[in-house]
Chains A and B, each alone.
Chain A
C-alpha cells in the first residue's frame, strides 16, 4: 500500500467526554476484557491517547442509519479497550488525538489499523473488520488488507468474509483460537441450531483442526445424502450415544467413538467390507507374532506381514504357519475378494 505520510504523533491531545465518542470499527468478541488495562491506567495513567476522527466525509457509512454513523460524530479509530477502561474507571474527560477533518479516509483508517497492529488482531476481529471494510468500499479494503494480514491470500480474505457471519459464540471460539478460520467460514453457512450443536461438541471434546474438518465433511455429506441436517444427525441415538458418560470415559475415548460412528454412518458399504475382512482375519486365529496387516483403503496394492521372532525355531514355526496358511480358503479370500463382497446399490 502507499506510504502513510501523516503521523499522529504530531497532534496535540485534546480532552473529550468519553461518552461522546462512537466506535468506528465493529467489535470482535475478544476485545471486551479491559480490566487489566483499567488497572494499569489507574496506577500509571493513560500513556497513549486514543485516536479519533471526524468521519462525515462521505465515506464512513453516513447513509447507513443502523450503523450509528453520522456527519457530526467523532469516531474512535484506535483505542477501544482504552476507552472501555477509562469508562470503567469513571473518567469524565478522555485525552484523545483528533485527526484533522480533511484526513483522507484511506489514511485515517490505515492509522487506525496500524495503531492496533502492536497488540495484533485475533481471527474474529480480522474477520469482522474485513467484512466491514469490504462491504463499504472494496477498493479501500484491498488497500488496507496488508494491515489486517490479508495481503496475499484471496482464500484468507474469502474465509474472513464468511467467518464474520458467525454468531457471537462462534466468533468467541474463533477469537480464542478454538475454531480455525477455515472451519469458522464453513460453519457460518450452517443453520443456527446445527451450528450451536457442533460448537457445543467442539467445546466438549476439543478435537484437532483436522478432526473438526473431517467431522464437518461427514456431517455435510450425510445431510445431503439423508436429506437431513447436521444437528439432527448429531442428535440421532446412533451418533449421540458416543457422547454418553463423557466424564468417566474421557475425551480421547469419546472422540474416537464418535469418529467411528460418524465414519460408519457415512460409509456403510465400506464398513461392511472392512467388517467382513476383519472377521475373516479373526477366523484365522493368527498368533500375535504373525501379523497380517490389511490395507484400510482396500486398494490392496500390497499386503504386509510382520513376523516377530527371536530364535531360528521361532522363525521356523512362523514359516510353517505361512505354508499352511497359503492354502487356507479364508486367507485366500482375504487376498482375493470379489466385487460381490460389496453391497449392491
Chain B
C-alpha cells in the first residue's frame, strides 16, 4: 500500500482534489516492475507487484487503485460504433482504461465494470503497432487517431509521458492526425513540442451548469477553455466536443453561454472541429450511477431505447437540442466550421443539418479536414 505525492502543476488550475494518477494503491504486473513507466507512476515509491491480471480481473480493483498490466490484443482499433447511427470513423489508440474524474454520466463505468485505472505496461508494443499502421499507404489507411475513448487522454499524461511520444510520431506524418481528448487542463507540458499542427487537442465542453454539477473533478469550463487558448497559442488545432448534451430547464441559455465563452477564448479558424452528442447511456449505467450519485437527476428524464440498445432522448427532442446548440455555435464560429454529430441517425442528420452524410461521408469529411490540418506544415513553435 503506497501513497504518492502530487506532481507540480505549474500553469494548470489548482485543483488539489483532482486525483490525477495519484491513486492510493499502484499494482504492477511482475514483468513491468522495472520499466520506466512503472517508476514514473510510482514516483519512487514501491508498488505492489502482482503476477498477472487480465480484463476479467479488472473489476476486483477499485476506486483509487491503478493497475499496470499487459494488454493482450490490438492497440489500434476502430471506435466502437453502433448500429443504425452514423460513425465518424475515428481510430482509437488504446493505452488504458478508466477515469477518475467522476462524471455522473460516464459510460466507462458501465463498459469497464471497475472504478480503477488500468494502464498498459506493454505500450511500446502498441506504439510499434501504431507506427506500422502509419507507415502504410495513406490512401488506404485511416487518417484520424485518438486516445481518449476509454480514458481521458491527458489525465495521467504528466506521469506517463505518452502524449509527447505520440505527438512526435504524428508530427513526422503529413497524412494522419492525432486527437487528444480531455476534460482536464493538463496541457502545459505539451506546449513546447514540435507538433507541426498534426495533433488536435480537444476539450469536452458542456453548459456551465452541467460542468459544475455533473462533471465531478473535471477542470472547470473556463479552465478548459483557458487551456484551449494556451494550446491554440502553441499552434495546436483545437477540437471541441459537446458530448453529452443535456436537456434541463434553461438548457438553451446554458449552451449559448458556453458558445459565447468559446468565442471569447478561440478564433473560429483555430477550431478543427466540433462534435455534438446528446446524452445516451447503456441501461446498466443508471443503477451504477444512481448508487454512486443518488442526487443526480439526469436519469430522471424520458428516454427511449435506441437502435443501438442505448437509452436516448426521444428523437424530436434530440433534434431540438442539436439545433439549439448548433445555432448558438453559429454565432461564434464561421460557416465553414466543421460541426458534426457523434452517433446520430440519418433522420436526425437530415432534420438538423438538412443532409445525411452517412458513416462513409462523415468519415470522408473529417478525414479531409484532418488532411487539411496535417498538411499545413505549420512552423514549429519555438522551444523556451
* A contacts, CB < 8 Å to B: 154, 221, 224-225, 266-270, 273, 297-301, 337-342, 345
Q: Which of A266, A339, A341, A342 has the most CB of B within 10 A?
A: A339
Question: In the complex the two chains form, what is the Cα distance from A273 to B316 in whole Å?
Answer: 9
The residue that B316 contacts in the complex, of A297, A337, A345, with Cβ under 8 A, is A337
Question: In the complex the two chains form, what is the Cα distance from A225 to B316 in whole Å?
Answer: 22
- A345 surroundings in chain B (CB, below 8 A): 247-249, 251
- B316 surroundings in chain A (CB, below 8 A): 273, 298, 337-342
Closest Cβ of chain B: how far from A293's Cβ, in Å?
A: 15
B161, CB-defined interface residue at 8 Å = no
The answer to whether A270 and B59 have CB atoms under 8 Å apart is: no
B319, CB-defined interface residue at 8 Å = yes
The answer to whether B300 and A221 have CB atoms under 8 Å apart is: yes
The answer to whether B84 and A301 have CB atoms under 8 Å apart is: yes
Question: In the complex the two chains form, what is the Cα distance from A268 to B315 in whole Å?
Answer: 15
- B251 surroundings in chain A (CB, below 8 A): 345
17 additional A-B residue pairs with CB within 8 Å, beyond A299-B306, A339-B317, A342-B320: A154-B59, A225-B297, A269-B317, A273-B314, A297-B304, A297-B306, A298-B316, A299-B84, A299-B315, A300-B347, A337-B316, A339-B316, A339-B319, A339-B320, A341-B316, A345-B249, A345-B251
Closest Cβ of chain B: how far from A29's Cβ, in Å?
A: 27
Closest Cβ of chain A: how far from B180's Cβ, in Å?
A: 33
- A267 surroundings in chain B (CB, below 8 A): 302
Closest Cβ of chain A: how far from B246's Cβ, in Å?
A: 11
Question: In the complex the two chains form, what is the Cα distance from A160 to B113 in whole Å?
Answer: 20
B305, CB-defined interface residue at 8 Å = yes
* B contacts, CB < 8 Å to A: 59, 84, 247-249, 251, 297, 299-300, 302, 304-307, 312, 314-317, 319-320, 323, 345-347, 351
Question: In the complex the two chains form, what is the Cα distance from A210 to B264 in whole Å?
Answer: 51
Listed from nearest, the 7 A-B pairs whose CB atoms lie closest are: A339-B320, A297-B304, A342-B316, A225-B300, A339-B319, A339-B316, A267-B302
Knowing A270-B302, A345-B247 touch, does A299 contact B319 (C-beta < 8 A)? Answer: no
Question: In the complex the two chains form, what is the Cα distance from A269 to B300 in whole Å?
Answer: 13
- B320 surroundings in chain A (CB, below 8 A): 339, 342
- Whose C-beta in chain B lies nearest to the C-beta of A217? B286
- B300 surroundings in chain A (CB, below 8 A): 221, 224-225
- Whose C-beta in chain A lies nearest to the C-beta of B300? A225
- B347 surroundings in chain A (CB, below 8 A): 299-301
Closest Cβ of chain A: how far from B289's Cβ, in Å?
A: 13
The answer to whether A300 and B249 have CB atoms under 8 Å apart is: no
The answer to whether B304 and A298 have CB atoms under 8 Å apart is: yes
The answer to whether A299 and B345 have CB atoms under 8 Å apart is: yes
Q: List 21 A-B contacts (CB under 8 A).
A: A221-B299, A224-B300, A225-B297, A225-B300, A268-B302, A269-B302, A297-B304, A298-B315, A299-B306, A299-B315, A299-B347, A300-B315, A300-B347, A301-B307, A338-B319, A338-B351, A342-B314, A342-B316, A342-B317, A345-B249, A345-B251
- Whose C-beta in chain A lies nearest to the C-beta of B323? A339
The answer to whether A297 and B319 have CB atoms under 8 Å apart is: no
- A340 surroundings in chain B (CB, below 8 A): 316
Question: In the complex the two chains form, what is the Cα distance from A301 to B304 in whole Å?
Answer: 13
- B312 surroundings in chain A (CB, below 8 A): 299
- Whose C-beta in chain B lies nearest to the C-beta of A266? B302
- B345 surroundings in chain A (CB, below 8 A): 299, 301
Closest Cβ of chain B: how far from A185's Cβ, in Å?
A: 11
- B297 surroundings in chain A (CB, below 8 A): 224-225
The residue that A270 contacts in the complex, of B84, B248, B304, with Cβ under 8 A, is B304
Question: In the complex the two chains form, what is the Cα distance from A270 to B315 in whole Å?
Answer: 10
- A301 surroundings in chain B (CB, below 8 A): 84, 307, 345-347
Question: In the complex the two chains form, what is the Cα distance from A299 to B83 in whole Å?
Answer: 13
Question: In the complex the two chains form, what is the Cα distance from A273 to B314 in whole Å?
Answer: 10
Question: In the complex the two chains form, what is the Cα distance from A273 to B303 in whole Å?
Answer: 13
- B84 surroundings in chain A (CB, below 8 A): 299, 301
- B249 surroundings in chain A (CB, below 8 A): 345
- Whose C-beta in chain A lies nearest to the C-beta of B295? A224
Question: In the complex the two chains form, what is the Cα distance from A299 to B315 in whole Å?
Answer: 6
- B346 surroundings in chain A (CB, below 8 A): 301
Question: In the complex the two chains form, what is the Cα distance from A337 to B348 in whole Å?
Answer: 11
- Whose C-beta in chain B lies nearest to the C-beta of A267? B302
- A266 surroundings in chain B (CB, below 8 A): 302
- Whose C-beta in chain B lies nearest to the C-beta of A337? B316
Question: In the complex the two chains form, what is the Cα distance from A266 to B303 in whole Å?
Answer: 10
- B317 surroundings in chain A (CB, below 8 A): 269, 339, 342
- A270 surroundings in chain B (CB, below 8 A): 302, 304, 314
Closest Cβ of chain A: how far from B266's Cβ, in Å?
A: 29
Closest Cβ of chain A: how far from B275's Cβ, in Å?
A: 20
Question: In the complex the two chains form, what is the Cα distance from A120 to B175 in whole Å?
Answer: 65
Question: In the complex the two chains form, what is the Cα distance from A267 to B314 in whole Å?
Answer: 11
Q: Which of A225, A298, A342 has the most CB of B within 10 A?
A: A342
Closest Cβ of chain A: how far from B29's Cβ, in Å?
A: 22
Closest Cβ of chain A: how far from B288's Cβ, in Å?
A: 12
- Whose C-beta in chain B lies nearest to the C-beta of A223? B300
Question: In the complex the two chains form, what is the Cα distance from A270 to B314 in whole Å?
Answer: 8
Q: Which of A267, A270, A300, A345 has the most CB of B within 10 A?
A: A345
- Whose C-beta in chain B lies nearest to the C-beta of A269? B302
Closest Cβ of chain A: how far from B169's Cβ, in Å?
A: 39
Q: Which of B248, B304, B306, B345 has the most CB of A within 10 A?
A: B304
- A300 surroundings in chain B (CB, below 8 A): 315, 347
- Whose C-beta in chain A lies nearest to the C-beta of B320? A339
- A273 surroundings in chain B (CB, below 8 A): 314, 316
Question: In the complex the two chains form, what is the Cα distance from A102 to B365 in whole Å?
Answer: 77
- B314 surroundings in chain A (CB, below 8 A): 269-270, 273, 298, 342
Question: In the complex the two chains form, what is the Cα distance from A273 to B319 in whole Å?
Answer: 14
Question: In the complex the two chains form, what is the Cα distance from A273 to B304 in whole Å?
Answer: 12
Closest Cβ of chain B: how far from A296's Cβ, in Å?
A: 8
Closest Cβ of chain B: how far from A335's Cβ, in Å?
A: 10
Question: In the complex the two chains form, what is the Cα distance from A194 to B304 in whole Å?
Answer: 27
The answer to whether B305 and A297 have CB atoms under 8 Å apart is: yes
Closest Cβ of chain B: how far from A2's Cβ, in Å?
A: 21
Question: In the complex the two chains form, what is the Cα distance from A300 to B316 in whole Å?
Answer: 10
Question: In the complex the two chains form, what is the Cα distance from A226 to B248 in whole Å?
Answer: 16
- Whose C-beta in chain A lies nearest to the C-beta of B83? A301
- B323 surroundings in chain A (CB, below 8 A): 339
Closest Cβ of chain B: how far from A209's Cβ, in Å?
A: 16
Question: In the complex the two chains form, what is the Cα distance from A297 to B315 in whole Å?
Answer: 9
- Whose C-beta in chain A lies nearest to the C-beta of B251? A345
Question: In the complex the two chains form, what is the Cα distance from A270 to B251 in whole Å?
Answer: 19
- Whose C-beta in chain A lies nearest to the C-beta of B348? A299
